[in-house]
Amino acid sequence: MTRVSPPDLQSFLTDLDMSVHAANDWGTPANYIPELACIAPDQFAISVALPDGQVLSAGCHDQPFSIQSVSKVFTLACVLGRIGDELWDRVGREPSGTSFDSIVLLEREQGRPRNPFINAGALVTTDALLDGRMPADALAEVLGFIRTAAGDTNIHIDGDVATSEKVTGHRNTALAYYLASHKNLHNPPNSTLETYFHQCAIAMNTDQLARAGTVLARFQNAPRLLSSERARRINALMMTCGHYDGSGDFAFRVGLPGKSGVGGGILIIAPGKASIAVWSPGLNNYGNSKVGTEAAHRLAQFTGWSVFAG
Ligand code: GLN
């Protein structure tokens, strides 16, 4: 079924919200960022933005959460808009098969990260966004992009989450200095890290995130922030790399491009059909939302939405 009526979809989402609450294992919130570690795992929200402008939701869809690595999609869009294909001189486009914060491949591949969604690649992308400016200017650009995409100016950075990650972000600090040693950071590592931690600390609810994703779903009435070619390519990277070493499993189970974050959010794009945001803060072994992934799987089964189906 590729056509699903909004009332049927709404009742599916309402039932889904009720049934996920029967879960006895919600996964574990990101424990290396103290501000996220203390969030109760048994929470769930889902929003589906449709081409006619409706947003259907269930669960705590108006509660802001930390979008973390979902922000990397928007930073990438901004950077491709600024420098285009030049980015690919500094970052690859291949899945890594390693965890999001791994340093192993970076050493083997002389400081050129595998893709823009693992932390090393996201640091290079953020460095390209910074481009000699003050962190506040780069952050204003990515926040402006997200607000315009979502049609909502009430989206902000949670300073406590950014500070919390800065204090404990030893791995990201190591990655940044390692990249700098390979001359793949053009700004002082601390400026790039500062920008990166704040970008990850953007807080949104699932309604806002689903609306922001409409620029990637290429809806007729979505703000024109991206060319269709660029949206297609970002979607391809989300499919192959958006869930780190869980990307193959997500493609297999859900069949749609998705980008996860350790705050428990996932943005999922069904091109031309829907932009979906799910949130549940407990993570699976890959660092992706446990219940969120299961909900995405069930939504894909119900709707039949898949980039692998006609
Ligand atoms: N800010 C987080 C980090 O750098 C983002 C990781 C993620 O969401 N997967 O570790």
pLDDT digits (tens, 9 = 90+) for 140-161: 999 999 999 999 999 999 999 9
Please give the average per-residue pLDDT across 62-86, as a whole number: 97
DSSP code for 187: S
For position 3, what pLDDT does the model report?
79
Per-residue pLDDT, 1: 44
Confidence of residue 2 (pLDDT cuts 50, 70, 90): low
Determine phi and psi for 111, rounding to 5 degrees.
Answer: 80, 10
Domain with CATH 3.40.710.10 in the chain: 6-64+205-303, 69-202
* Ligand 1 near 119 CB (within 6 A): yes
Is 69 an annotated catalytic residue? yes
Predicted pLDDT at 46: 98
Structure confidence at residue 118 (pLDDT): 96
Q: Give the architecture-level CATH label for domain 69-202.
A: 3-Layer(aba) Sandwich (3.40)
How far is the C-alpha of 146 from the C-alpha of 156, rounded, in Å? Answer: 10
pLDDT of 23 over the 90 cut: no
Q: Is 273 designated active site?
A: no
Q: What is the mean pLDDT of residues 80-93?
A: 97
Q: Which two tokens stand for residue 154?
A: 């009430």
Residue 114: pLDDT over 70: yes
Max Cα–Cα distance, the chain, nearest Å: 55
Per annotation, catalytic residue among 91, 96, 244, 259? 244
pLDDT of 310 higher than 80: no
pLDDT, mean of residues 130-147: 97
pLDDT in tens, 44-73: 999 999 999 999 999 999 999 999 999 999
Tokens 């290079």, located at residue: 124
**What does the pLDDT average to over 202-225?**
96
Q: Is the CB of 75 under 6 A from ligand 1?
A: no
Residue 267 DSSP code: E
CB atoms near residue 147 (< 10 Å): 18
- Cα 257 to Cα 163, 165, 227, 253, 275: the distances in Å are 30, 27, 17, 11, 10
State the fold for domain 6-64+205-303: Beta-lactamase (3.40.710)
pLDDT over 80 (residue 164)? yes
For residues 187-209, give the mean pLDDT.
Answer: 98
As a whole number of angstroms, the distance between CA 149 and CA 34 comes to 30
Number of the ligand 1 atom closest to the C-alpha atom of 70 = 8
Q: What span, in angstroms and rounded, lies between the C-alpha atoms of 168 and 75?
A: 23
What is the Cα gyration radius of the chain? 18
Spacing, Cα 65 to ligand 1 middle (Å): 14
Is 291's pLDDT higher than 50?
yes
3-state helix, strand, coil in the chain (%, to 5): 50, 10, 40
Q: What is the DSSP string of 109-157?
A: TTT--S-SSSHHHHHHHHHHHHTTS-HHHHHHHHHHHHHHHHT-S--EE
Q: Is the distance from CB of 204 to CB of 61 less than 8 angstroms? A: no
Annotated active-site residue 196? The verdict is yes
At 76, is the pLDDT very low, low, confident or very high (cuts 50, 70, 90)? very high
Q: Is 262 a catalytic residue?
A: yes
Of 57, 66, 69, 71, the active-site residue reads 69
Whole-number pLDDT of residue 98: 86
Q: How far is CA 3 from CA 15, 146, 202, 297, in A?
A: 19, 28, 33, 17
Output the CA 169–ligand 1 centroid distance in Å. 9
Work out which ligand 1 atom sits closest to the CA atom of 262.
8
Amino acid of residue 69: S
